[in-house]
Amino acid sequence: MQWTWLDMVIRSAVILAAAELLRRVPRRSAPSYRHRIVLAAFGLLLLWPVFSALLPEIRVPLWPHLDTHDHVTVQQTILSVDSGRELMTAVNWSLVVWLAGVFLAFGPVIIGYVNLLRVSRQAVPLSDPSWNRVLEEISCQLKLRTKPELLVLNSPVMPLTFGLRRCRILLPVSCLDWSPLRQRAVLLHELAHIRRKDIGTQLFANVITSLWWFQPLCWTSRRNLRQESERACDAVVLASGIKPSDYAAELLDVAHRFSRDRSWSSAAIAMARRGELEGRLCAILDPAPGDATRRFSFAAISLLTLLAVTASAINIFPEQQNDLSGGLPMKRTLLAGLLASAGLSAATIGGSVFDPSGAVIPNAKALLLNPDTAAKQETQTGSDGKFVFQSLPAGSYILRIEKPGFAALFREFNVQQDSNIERGLTLNIGSIKEHVSI
């Protein structure tokens, strides 16, 4: 399984590194273009397992195999009652580690939403006429279908936007004393986030980063996505006619005057982050042309998609075919999961259990293990000695039949989609416990 982790890190790194290169080229690209490139990389990371499972393998050896000696490997598997019991209780530790990482990575997002919900209940709607008038004007200017709700919190909170279905903007109570310039600048910036759907985009990036927590470049790309969304909203503010120097001064003052609570930083979009101010201020005072690179977006995303497809299918270690080819456990598992989720796999494994005399054996325990996923199913034979496991994904399975007074029986099956396997199985009398050392 170590190769699988390393392989996923390398292939995903190719996608993210290419996205970062396209983000930086051309040098004077608009922030909306750069944002689309990074977002496309996250989308391709989501689709990568599909590409890897469905695409045929392309073998491209980086160097010739120079070993002229022939090697023959002989493997012998001995299953006894005790070893079979250990096999059936095996744990897929790679899956456990991955799920633990996903929980730890996505935990702060969940905590952020809980804290933000608690704080929003303490806030009150803003009923100031001047704020509502500016909100109505900018909402019409940006062609928003629904106006967000303005909330005021009795604390020096950083202006922020939150909410997926019902967008809201949280402001500090001191906003009642703000100048018209600051009112307009803050609302333009926050409403631009709503028009661009940056709240959903940030949540999507958080989910993908949690799934790919073991890829360091994914965390860097998430930070870049957030930065590009902020700069794209800054560009909307400047396009409205506000002078860059005035907006930079307002942004700097807001960042230093109000605190940013990290307890909900993953669940909301704050107007300013002190660690990112320098780059934003430089971009505000020296903005990039808005339309110069827009025509490159489609070509760049298409190139990135082609690279992702290639990285998913190519194999630079063809000499390891027996371990790393289409029979790779993770690839088989992904394909089986896709078929099962789409309702395209309805394989069954069943049969009848008899004693040596040919009489049926009721109430015998039947256990089915998928060694690739460590998934287990259990059932019992009926009064007619029959059992069945239905709606199975394609893959390899190990069947164990046991009944007190009889020797346990093992069978291995290779199941294709829509396979229907029916077997007659005979249990021998007596209990077998044998340990063999070779």
In a domain, 298, yes or no: no
Containing H/E element for 378?
strand 375-380
In a domain, 10, yes or no: no
pLDDT score, position 336? 53
pLDDT score, position 294? 59
**Residue 152: strand pairing partners:** 124, 171
* Separation CA 189–CA 166 (nearest Å): 18
Strands 347-354 and 420-426: parallel
Q: How far is CA 408 from CA 109, 364, 381, 382, 400, in A?
A: 48, 10, 14, 18, 7
* Separation CA 429–CA 407 (nearest Å): 6
Q: 150-155: which pairs have CB atoms within 8 A and are 24 or more residues apart?
A: 150/125, 150/126, 151/120, 151/123, 151/124, 151/125, 151/126, 152/123, 152/124, 152/125, 152/126, 152/176, 153/119, 153/122, 153/123, 154/122
In a domain, 87, yes or no: no
* Separation CA 202–CA 199 (nearest Å): 5
Residues 133 and 220 in one domain: yes
In a domain, 199, yes or no: yes
Per DSSP, helices labelled H in 260-402 are 277-285, 297-313, 321-324, 329-341
* Separation CA 43–CA 204 (nearest Å): 9
342: domain CATH number is: 2.60.40.10
In a domain, 79, yes or no: no
Domain that holds residue 382: 337-426
Residues 162 and 263 in one domain: yes
Residues 113 and 243 in one domain: yes
pLDDT score, position 101? 93
The ranges of the chain with pLDDT < 70 are: 1-4, 27, 53, 56-92, 259-265, 274, 288-295, 315-346, 417, 430-438
Which of 429, 410, 431 lies closest to 366 in space, CA to CA? 410
Residues 395 and 261 in one domain: no
* Separation CA 281–CA 227 (nearest Å): 12
56: CB partners within 8 A, 6+ apart: 313, 326
* Separation CA 349–CA 422 (nearest Å): 6
In a domain, 6, yes or no: no
* Separation CA 26–CA 22 (nearest Å): 8
Residues 223 and 107 in one domain: yes
| Residue-wise pLDDT tens digits, 106-163 | 998 999 888 888 888 899 999 889 999 999 999 999 999 888 999 999 888 889 999 8
pLDDT score, position 69? 47
In a domain, 13, yes or no: no
- CA 187 from centroid of its chain's CA atoms: 32
Q: What is the longest distance spanned by two Cα atoms in the chain?
A: 95
The SS3 call for residue 59 is strand
In a domain, 102, yes or no: yes
Q: Supply the angle between the helices 216-239 and 198-211 in degrees, to the nearest 10.
A: 170
Residues 270 and 162 in one domain: yes
Residues 271 and 374 in one domain: no
Query: Where is the domain boundary, 220, 251, 285?
Result: 285
Residues 400 and 254 in one domain: no
Q: How many CB atoms lie within 10 A of CB 333?
A: 21
Residues 395 and 250 in one domain: no
Q: How far is CA 390 from CA 89, 414, 425, in A?
A: 21, 15, 18
Residues 276 and 345 in one domain: no
In total, how many domains does the chain have? Answer: 2
Query: Where is the domain boundary, 244, 266, 285?
Result: 285
Residues 104 and 171 in one domain: yes
pLDDT score, position 387? 93
| Residue-wise pLDDT tens digits, 219-257 | 999 999 999 999 999 999 999 999 999 999 999 888 888
Specify the pTM.
0.71
Which of 365, 348, 370, 374 lies closest to 409 in space, CA to CA? 365
